[in-house]
Amino acid sequence: MTGSHVDTVKNGGLYDGQFGIIAGILAIQYLKKKYGQPRRSLEVVSMAEEEGSRFPYVFWGSKNILGIAKREDVENITDFDGISFVEAMSKAGFSFRPEGQPVRQDIKAFIETHVEQGGVLEREQKSVGIVENIVGQRRFTIEIDGEANHAGTTPMGYRHDAFYAASRIACRIIESAKQHGDPLVATIGKIELTPNTVNVVPGKALFTLDIRHTQKQALQDFTEEIMTIMSEIGKEIGVKIKSDMWMDADPVPMDPGVVQVLERQCRKQGLSYRMMHSGAGHDSQILAQAFPTAMLFVPSHNGISHSPLEYTEPMDIGEGVRALAGALYELAYM
């Protein structure tokens, strides 16, 4: 089986997700025309709601294939326009998975072809990336409670400035992540201050933290390091700090056997490729829980994705389809 997700983010591009579906159709059309009927069935899958962009739920399609999607998780959720998940699903011609329907157990292997959504392949002038791991992710909301006070009458030494604490913590986290080096990444993407006005020392700061790595132990170690940093700075400035880890997804290794098939085919066809990890989440990390799974990447121009500027050169698209077709031939015809 091959394919990807059909949805993208709001104001997204034309390649993220959809390319993997079209690549699967092209590869199978080519194989059927050239080699006829395969020994094993070939299947293309188009999966819904991978992104969680419209509704607060991710991987709906791939979780349904595994039978782990929960009806109660989506029955009462709506989009920003108040349209319910159930209503949108029904309008699109779908319904909930029938009770008692058996879970798929006939999938020998799954290969997902996807745009890289980063700039590594383009910078290294490679047409294909073979993914060996999908990173684990931890996401936090950090809340700092200080003391709001007058900006003119409160001496610097008397302040319990929540923003100062947040900025010190942010700098330490980013500096530490740089010292650790690849593949660890840490991102502080959102910050809110209260009362957020020009002449008041901020009494509260709230910010998000996203950390990713290909090894679970590294995520745990960096989390402990972050907690120590926050504790030290909090005591020094006299603020209280609370952290809420609301996402904890383990790294997912790809199947070594399917990865070897992909690498063998890239070598056989003389394709320009490199081994790499995925810094973003994909349906493959769900399906890998039950089936031998691997991923192929093709370059994203200027590393841009989730944007109308998302673009992949036709030559690179062709190389990705060639790699996919070769792997499917080996898995289904040989």
> Please, which residues bridge with residue 110 across strands?
293
Q: pLDDT tens for the chain, 334 residues: list them.
A: 999 999 998 889 999 999 999 999 999 999 999 999 999 999 999 999 999 888 888 899 999 999 999 999 999 999 889 999 999 999 999 999 888 888 889 999 999 999 999 999 999 999 999 999 999 999 999 999 999 999 999 999 999 999 999 999 999 999 999 999 999 999 999 999 999 999 999 999 999 999 999 999 999 999 999 999 999 999 999 999 999 998 898 999 999 999 999 999 999 999 999 999 999 989 999 999 999 999 999 999 999 999 999 999 999 999 999 999 999 999 999 9
What was the pLDDT predicted at 52? Answer: 85
What was the pLDDT predicted at 101? Answer: 87
**Cβ count near 318 (within 10 Å):** 14
The sign of the dihedral angle between the CA atoms of 222, 228, 229, 230 is positive
> Please, which residues bridge with residue 114 across strands?
297
Domains contained in the chain, CATH given? 2-135+252-332 (3.40.630.10), 137-249 (3.30.70.360)
CA gap 324, 28 in Å, rounded: 9
CB 301 within 8 A of CB 313: yes
Residue 144 has phi, psi (to 5 degrees) of: -115, 125
**Cβ count near 118 (within 10 Å):** 19
What was the pLDDT predicted at 300? Answer: 96
Cis peptide before 256 (omega within 30 of 0): no
Torsion angle (degrees, nearest 10) of CA 30, 33, 39, 44: 40
The reported pTM is: 0.84
What was the pLDDT predicted at 53? Answer: 84
